[in-house]
Amino acid sequence: MKRSHENFEETLKRLMTRRNPADARMDAGIDKAWQQLNSESIGPVPNASRVHAVRSPRVFLKIGLATAMMIAVMFGVVRWRGRAPEVPFGETIRSNANRVLTLKDGSAVEMRAASELRLEPANDGIRIRLIVGSVIVNAAKQEPGRHLYVQTKDVSVSVVGTVFLVGTEKSGSHVAVIEGEVRVEQDGVETKLLPGQQLTVTTNPAMPSPPVAEEVGWSGEAETHVAMLQQAAAPQLRPQTTPKWEVTSIRQCTGDQPGNARGGGNGGTASAGAMGTSPGLLRVTCMPLKWLIERAYVKYLEYDMKPTWFFPITGGPEWIKTDLYTIMAKTEGLPSEQEMRGPMLQALLEERFNLKMKREIRQEPVYELRIADGGLKMQPLKEEECEAREAKAPEGETQAERLDRMLKALQRRPAPCGSQMIGGPQDGTKAPPRTRTVNVFGGPLDLLTRNLSLDRIIIDTTGLGDRLFDMQLTYSIDKSPMREPQPVSATEPPAGDSIFVAIEKQLGLKLVPLVGPRTYYTIEHVDRPTPN
């Protein structure tokens, strides 16, 4: 199966991308399936003779926005596609009045009057070279590995989202996002922009930077764009059709302490500081309101599963952390566990605690993780190494034996892939006092960065996200900017290197302080619960 020069991953890529269904035959198959569904009495279907899956632009915001976005974007796509033929590469296009172009990939480009651009092929897609003026791009969903770029003399914008504006004039260039997410590269520095955000690169400090809503005023779709921006500024945090609770009961909990495990488990009797569900029932035992907000909003909405401290909850009085509540809620019907713990719990908190939440993106100091100039000082693990570290499960193993086997495996060195330990070095060396060591065995960089406990979040731009490494990093808690202030020792002087020196010296990585986006959840209003 393997060609002599190929590794296994390359073989998989080569083979598994070989089969591509012919478009015409696939369309016929999809139509046939649709006819079959139609004949099973699902109701009359418009345009049943030809049904294609809609090219759905990728959106950054969650399910609560789907209605407005789908209408806005589909409206934009359908209408713009109706206006103009495709534009060939290499041709310079000048617009005397607002006009719309359709690209080969289905993207629509609205040009402002007196703008000029040229289309060029990129290695991995299409590049729009904006020579002068402004464009609003409504990007089609890109095939895997394909990208759409907009380039001016100052910046290069790559499309991750859908609708954004780029303008250029002699003194500089300007990028603003209406919906989705774009990455802007300028002089080797990459910035991510989210809806409503903008970036200006200029030699003229007086170059104006009006609000995005004003900037799109010239567009034929200005109303739609402004509606999208308003949605982005005040996003709906849950779907409009959230199932309802039939009855809810909240009482204050006295004498119990919240448990260390901050909520988990299903059904049965929940322990203090826990949340459990069973069909049609949610049970919360002695939890502070802040934890409930974390679960209902942060955990539900931030589906990329970063730790919840990544998304600070601000505002609200002190009692939301100290007063404990026990909640029993029974549903109408049988919604899923995720619905009960997410949007339904949001609705309960909003109704019974008069809670008003706002989700917003703020620009704040972050660290960017990069490969140091001297290069990486660790080797990614080979495929076979993780397998060799796994302790094999014998036949007929009981649960207790399995637990015992796994605990013993964690004590072996190297430990199984995915293990992480914090404290001292695990390689037998002794660390200086007042230092902290993070050990990761066969894990991605994400396992290291989430355990460093620094004062800023870390955004990984190394491109090593898919590699697994054995990592041991020891750094001084006195010389590093820690998230929690460290008690000063009267007897032990600061020792060891700061995190910035240590990470470069020991691992060949670099932490660069920057300003970047971070999502905040703000409590705008909250009251003690209304009576049952």
Partner 1 sequence: MSIVVMQEPAQQLEVVFREHARLVYRTAFGVTGSHEDADDVLQTIFLRLIRQEFPPDLKNNPQAYLYRAAVNASLNIMRRRHREVLVGDAEPFERPAPAETDSENSELQRLYEGIAQLKPNAAQILILRYMHGKTSAEIAKMLGRSQGAITLMLFRARVRLKKLLRTNSGDTR
Given the rule CB under 8 A, which residues bind partner 1? Answer: 1, 8-9, 12-13, 15-21, 25-26, 29-30, 32-34, 36-37, 40, 42-43, 45, 51-54, 56-59, 62-63, 66-67, 69-70, 144-145, 239-241, 303-306, 335-339, 381, 383-384, 386-387, 417-418, 442-444, 446-447, 465-468
What angle, rounded to 10 degrees, do the helices at 222-233 and 66-81 form? 160
Instruction: Give CA–CA dist 332/243, Å, rounded.
Output: 7
Rounded least distance, CB 263 to partner 1, Å: 18
Peptide bond into 288 cis (omega under 30): no
Question: Cβ distance 180 to 187 under 8 Å?
Answer: no
Compare residues 184 and 464 and give the one whose CB is closer to partner 1. Answer: 464
Instruction: Give CA–CA dist 172/41, Å, rounded.
Output: 59
Identify each DSSP E strand in 60-171 by its residue range: 92-95, 99-102, 108-111, 115-122, 125-138, 147-151, 156-159, 163-169
Compare residues 306 and 456 and give the one whose CB is closer to partner 1. Answer: 306
Rounded least distance, CB 408 to partner 1, Å: 20
Rounded least distance, CB 141 to partner 1, Å: 9
Tell the burial category of 523 from Cβ atoms under 10 Å away from its Cβ (0-12, 13-18, 19+): buried
Compare residues 444 and 516 and give the one whose CB is closer to partner 1. Answer: 444
Instruction: Give CA–CA dist 74/331, Å, rounded.
Output: 35
What are 118's two structure tokens?
Answer: 């040229």
> Which residue, 141, 144, 169, 137, is CA-closest to 155?
169
Rounded least distance, CB 526 to partner 1, Å: 27
Compare residues 58 and 290 and give the one whose CB is closer to partner 1. Answer: 58
Compare residues 155 and 177 and give the one whose CB is closer to partner 1. Answer: 177
For the chain, the distance separating the N- and C-terminal CA atoms, rounded to the nearest angstrom, is: 67
Rounded least distance, CB 210 to partner 1, Å: 30
Question: Cβ distance 421 to 443 under 8 Å?
Answer: no
Compare residues 63 and 122 and give the one whose CB is closer to partner 1. Answer: 63
Question: Cβ distance 378 to 469 under 8 Å?
Answer: yes
What are residue 353's phi and psi, to 5 degrees?
A: -110, 5
Rounded least distance, CB 445 to partner 1, Å: 9
Rounded least distance, CB 256 to partner 1, Å: 31
Compare residues 2 and 408 and give the one whose CB is closer to partner 1. Answer: 2
Rounded least distance, CB 25 to partner 1, Å: 5
Instruction: Give CA–CA dist 409/416, Å, rounded.
Output: 7
Compare residues 91 and 384 and give the one whose CB is closer to partner 1. Answer: 384
- Strand 356-371, strand 509-525: pairing: antiparallel
Rounded least distance, CB 3 to partner 1, Å: 11
Compare residues 292 and 381 and give the one whose CB is closer to partner 1. Answer: 381
